[in-house]
Structure 1
Amino acid sequence: MNFVTTPESRFKHLPNYQFKANYLEVDGMKMHYVDEGYDENNDQQKTVLMLHGEPSWSYLYRHMIPVCLAAGHRVIAPDLIGFGKSDKPTEMKDYSFAKHMDWMKAFIEQLDLNNMILVCQDWGSLIGLRLAAENEQRFDAIAVGNGMLPTGDEGKLPKVFKIWLAFATHSPWFPIARIVDGGCFKKLSKDEKRAYDAPFPNAKYKAGSRAFPRLVPVDPNNPASEANRAAWKILEQWHKPFLTCFSNGDPITRGGDKFMQGKIPGAKGQPHVTLTGGHFLQEDSGAEFALEVNKLISRLN
């Protein structure tokens, strides 16, 4: 498997992203992650695991990380393989749902993460919800924003997702920053757009971001469907706190919050919220999302 590493010079002077870079190795590749706030003397400390989706990276959580740190939590925000500062296989065929799961499982096992609060959105939810279901003992609670765990059994796809799938698969033009900007209520600044484009110097680096839409289980026979169904059997018995923090302006995941509230026992009685924003609610309501995560954690104690 051939992969490329984005030059570090691409990440200089990014606004509000002054976090130390950490790396570990998965499948022979470097995986980057933010790791802030760890207190080695506090064995009760919660670890907030923030998982990004498509086509973003840990930069998406720059407004949320400080809010959770201020509450005394450890925050870990990895860059998925193919994104951010992590290494990037150059062929779309090198990416699969199963491989992303293997890479993230290796990540949490190498760091031996426990007492985790999962915070996830978009593909971070597809990977994160599976990860939590398959490693339930490591997680204490879940907060989902604009995400789901599809099996392919859901039926009709949103039209906007069909358009997105066709674009990601066939368009010769794949402007990462403009895609993120179009999924926000706010308008990204020039430097923020530079930050979202930073991981991808040219088309060779974008195989992972182009692959993700094709990997979503959109029919019952998808290679990931069986494992996702198995994860749902666990989630349907999940009594730990499960909070939805969807936004009011995402046409892709709209309704997913109500679906999960009805299926997951741990969602019952939780103060679910609807935040203001588009698909990338971390950009539009990042601080508000983080405060809801802090309140969720406070209710665990």
Structure 2
Amino acid sequence: MTRQVYRTPEARFTDLPGFAYTPRYAEVDGLRMHYAEAGPANASPVVLLHGEPTWAYLYRHMIEPLVAAGYRVLAPDLIGCGRSDKPAAVADYSYASHVAWTGAWFAQLGLTDVTLFCQDWGSLIGLRLVAEQPDIFARVFVGNGFLPTGDENMPVLFSAWRAFARYSPVFPVGAIVQAGSRRWLSRVERAAYNAPFPDKRYTAGIRAFPGLVPITPNDPATPANRAAWESLARFSRPFHTCFADGDPITRGADRALRRRVAGAAHVPHTTIRHARHFLQEDQGPAIAEFMLAQMGAPN
């Protein structure tokens, strides 16, 4: 059966504050995947992976400092998000499909020597890719993210979020991002987060995400995630954590990452102050500054 796919009209993305990047697209599994790119094409790549329900716009405060330092910066939109195509049914999405789609994007662009920053679902996907293709990653930064196997105790707040995503008749994306940010977003910024979703038909992907998080040991994604942890225990390249001080969802996960990932043992880590779940909105320049202090000049 042919899946139904929605594509957000380009007119929805005009006049985005601080995000005037020419749209670029790659095709993965018959779907169009958008990414923003800036900086020298031959410079070392920095990939910024967003989570739910955001898109590459989340990284507008980080892209320019990284580009100014000489890096090539790429910020893709996960399938179902941003300018990327949006399969219409919740059942069209799985954890495995997101890993495959994003991995295909990396392969199509031929990315190597990658510095990765990942947050929220960007971490659930990104850490799988690091575990499965460690040779293409030179350095990893994780902010407010983890790799669950269903063996962890999930916060009560996550259960409420999972139920809201599944049952709420409305899914106000701009308001959701505001609730997860400490600073007050402008009306135009909130509108930019609503832009990918002209109506509820476009929201299947972002509604699907909470239900794809492994919360029991027999979840379909658990074996792959457990195998990923085994690989990460051997990943010896620099692995940094930079978690916000005000995120109730991922609080404490940075300690587990530092304890279990080989490359985290002897590198700097930091706490991003005065930030909540969407730490890129609250303290994007500070995150970029921390990254650049560890990365040095690009190759």
TM-score range, shorter-chain basis?
Answer: over 0.9
1:5 matched to which residue of 2? 7
- For 1:142, which of 136, 140, 143 is the aligned residue? 140
DSSP 3-state at the match of 1:63: helix
2:215 matched to which residue of 1? 218
DSSP 3-state at the match of 1:67: helix
1:200 matched to which residue of 2? 197
Query: Hey, what's the Cα distance between the residues in 1 that align with 2:73 and 2:193?
Result: 21
Query: Could you give the per-residue CA deviations for residues 16-50 of structure 1, whole angstroms, max 9, x where no partner exists?
Result: 0001110111111111001111343xxxx321110
Matching of residues 32-181 of structure 1 within 5 Å: 32-40=34-42, 45-154=43-152, 156-181=153-178
Query: Hey, what's the Cα distance between the residues in 1 that align with 2:21 and 2:142?
Result: 24
Look up the equivalent residue of 2:24 and give its one-letter code. N
DSSP 3-state at the match of 1:13: coil
- The answer as to 2:182 corresponding to 1:185 is yes
2:290 matched to which residue of 1? 292
Query: Could you give the per-residue CA deviations for residues 84-135 of structure 1, whole angstroms, max 9, x where no partner exists?
Result: 0001001000000010011011101100000101100000000000011111
Query: Hey, what's the Cα distance between the residues in 1 that align with 2:224 and 2:49?
Result: 20
Query: Hey, what's the Cα distance between the residues in 1 that align with 2:101 and 2:219?
Result: 20
Query: Hey, what's the Cα distance between the residues in 2 that align with 1:299 and 1:70?
Result: 11
Contact 2:17/2:189, CA 8 A, preserved across alignment: yes
Query: Hey, what's the Cα distance between the residues in 1 that align with 2:234 and 2:103?
Result: 21
Runs of 4+ in structure 1 over 4 Å off = none
- For 2:224, which of 200, 224, 227 is the aligned residue? 227
Q: CA deviation at 1:235?
A: 0.4
Query: Hey, what's the Cα distance between the residues in 2 that align with 1:27 and 1:299?
Result: 36
Look up the equivalent residue of 1:144 and give its one-letter code. V
DSSP 3-state at the match of 1:18: coil
Contact 2:79/2:85, CA 8 A, preserved across alignment: yes
Look up the equivalent residue of 2:272 and give its one-letter code. L
Q: Structure 1: any 5+ residue segments left out of the alignment?
A: none
2:272 matched to which residue of 1? 275
Percent identity, aligned pairs only? 51
DSSP 3-state at the match of 2:188: helix
Look up the equivalent residue of 2:264 and give its one-letter code. A
- For 2:255, which of 252, 255, 258 is the aligned residue? 258
Look up the equivalent residue of 2:22 and give its one-letter code. K
Structure 1 stretch 290-299 or stretch 255-264: which is displaced more?
Answer: 290-299
Query: Could you give the per-residue CA deviations for residues 209-256 of structure 1, whole angstroms, max 9, x where no partner exists?
Result: 000000001111111110011111010111100000000000000000
Query: Hey, what's the Cα distance between the residues in 2 that align with 1:230 and 1:252?
Result: 24
DSSP 3-state at the match of 2:101: helix
DSSP 3-state at the match of 2:61: coil
TM-score (norm: length of structure 2):
0.97
Query: Hey, what's the Cα distance between the residues in 2 that align with 1:129 and 1:268?
Result: 17
Q: CA deviation at 1:299?
A: 8.6
TM-score (norm: length of structure 1):
0.96
DSSP 3-state at the match of 1:220: coil
DSSP 3-state at the match of 2:158: helix
* Cα RMSD, aligned residues only: 1.1
Look up the equivalent residue of 1:26 and give its one-letter code. V
DSSP 3-state at the match of 2:112: coil
Query: Hey, what's the Cα distance between the residues in 1 that align with 2:166 and 2:136?
Result: 35
